[in-house]
Amino acid sequence: MELLKQFGAGVIPEAIKRLGDPRWFVKRNMLYILSEINNPEVLPSVRPYCRHENLKVSVEAIKCLLSAGDRYGIQAVKDYLYSESREQVEQAISLTGAFRIREFVPDLIKMLKKRGISGADLYDKVPVVKTLGDIGDSAALPVLREALSEKSFLFRGASERLKEEIYSSLKNYQHENIRDIIDAGLKSKNPYIREESLRLSRARSG
Banded model confidence at residue 6, pLDDT cuts 50, 70, 90: low
Q: Which CATH fold would you assign to the domain 1-99? A: Leucine-rich Repeat Variant (1.25.10)
Other Cβ atoms less than 10 A from the Cβ of 170: the count is 24
pTM: 0.88
Rounded-to-integer distance, Cα 45 and Cα 41, Å: 8
Residues of the chain above pLDDT 90, percent: 78
C-alpha closest to that of 60 among 32, 93, 33? 32
pLDDT at 2 over 70: no
pLDDT tens, residue by residue, 143-197:
999 999 988 766 888 999 999 999 999 999 999 999 999 999 999 999 999 999 9
Sorted by where each begins, the domain ranges of the chain are: 1-99, 102-206
pLDDT tens, residue by residue, 45-73:
999 999 999 999 999 999 999 999 999 99
Residues of the chain above pLDDT 70, percent: 93
Burial of 83 (0-12, 13-18, 19+ CB in 10 A): middle
Q: What is the mean pLDDT of residues 80-105?
A: 96
3-class SS at 83? coil
Phi/psi-derived region of residue 139, left when phi > 0, alpha when psi is between -120 and 50, beta in every other case: alpha
